[in-house]
Amino acid sequence: MRRAVRTYLDHLTVERGLSRNTLASYRRDLDRYLETLAAAGVGDLAAVTAAEVEGHLARLREGDPEHPALSAASAARAVSAVRGLHRFAAREGIVAHDVSREVKPPAPPKRLPKALDVDQVARLLAVAVPPRDRALLEFLYGTGARISEAVGLAVDDLALGDEPTVTLHGKGGRTRFVPVGRYAREALEAYLVQVRPALAAAGRGTPAVFLNARGGPLSRQSAWTILHRAAESAGLPVEGPHAVSPHTLRHSYATHLLDGGADVRVVQELLGHAWVTTTQVYTLVTVDRLREVYATSHPRAR
């Protein structure tokens, strides 16, 4: 079974071009699945039944002494990895048929993305004083980049001329070109000229735009810490369900574009979504905003 898992992960790497983080998640989910099968005495993928797959799903939701119970969304992701393995094994002739087809993943609750309002974003960016921190946060909000895209950004990906743009390398190996606004460009230029050369001198010549104190590429965790520190200084939540995260700035970017009249298809391209239905969740946020404006502005709204 471990050979089948390795072959499947190789397929995802080569044929599907999944990101390193996604592959790591799939590997963890499948390792736990194999542990479940081993505990049930199942040592051959061809011997797995739909009951075993359903039992694994139930254990994910209930938890055990070594693992906390997973939410519906996390369990659905884990089951997706399992179903992908069985589908791949059936297609490659490793097993006779795909038993996981009979198992439906739990439906996660539909949650709207969290977004800051414009004033909150302004407060957040105003307290990011160090040039590198300011450049990072301005870049995240000004381009809608994922945190992985920001920390993986190379100097050659930036074109800060008369019509500044950035090349972002997103999920599934998809590349997109995104405009860079004046605030983000000015913050990036200040950092690149005033700070980055000294940081780079301490390292080994990495092409990454955002560097740590040792001259190496800034990590995702360090970028999160920068945002956490700025959010706390700005009086924004850093704990609980509404805590500000790097993805909050991406959500805010999309929501503010749509509030400003941008077409959803344009926002789809800017965010790098493969399907417009992924982007359309943001339109629900702006409908709430429209209701709010109507309720406070129209004489017969109430």
DSSP state at residue 130: S
Rounded to whole angstroms, how far apart are CA atoms 152 and 129?
22
DSSP state at residue 210: S
- Catalytic residue flag (residue 104): no
Dihedral sign (CA 84, 89, 90, 92): positive
Catalytic residue among 32, 146, 176, 196: 146
DSSP state at residue 275: S
- Catalytic residue flag (residue 114): no
Report which of 179, 154, 185, 184 is spatially closest to residue 169, judged by C-alpha positions: 154
- Catalytic residue flag (residue 86): no
Catalytic residue among 8, 141, 191, 282: 282
Catalytic residue among 171, 220, 228, 289: 171
Catalytic residue among 132, 169, 185, 273: 273
C-beta separation of 105 from 72 below 8 A: no
Q: b/e string for 190-225 if b means 16 or more Cβ within 10 A?
A: bbbeebbeebbeeeeeeebbbbbeebebbebeebee
Report which of 179, 180, 174, 218 is spatially closest to residue 196, judged by C-alpha positions: 218
Rounded to whole angstroms, how far apart are CA atoms 128 and 137?
8
Catalytic residue among 56, 77, 83, 250: 250
Catalytic residue among 247, 265, 291, 294: 247
Half-sphere exposure of 20 toward its Cβ, with a 13 Å CA cutoff?
A: 5
- Catalytic residue flag (residue 282): yes
Three-class secondary structure of residue 246 per DSSP: helix
Which residues are designated catalytic? Answer: 146, 171, 247, 250, 273, 282
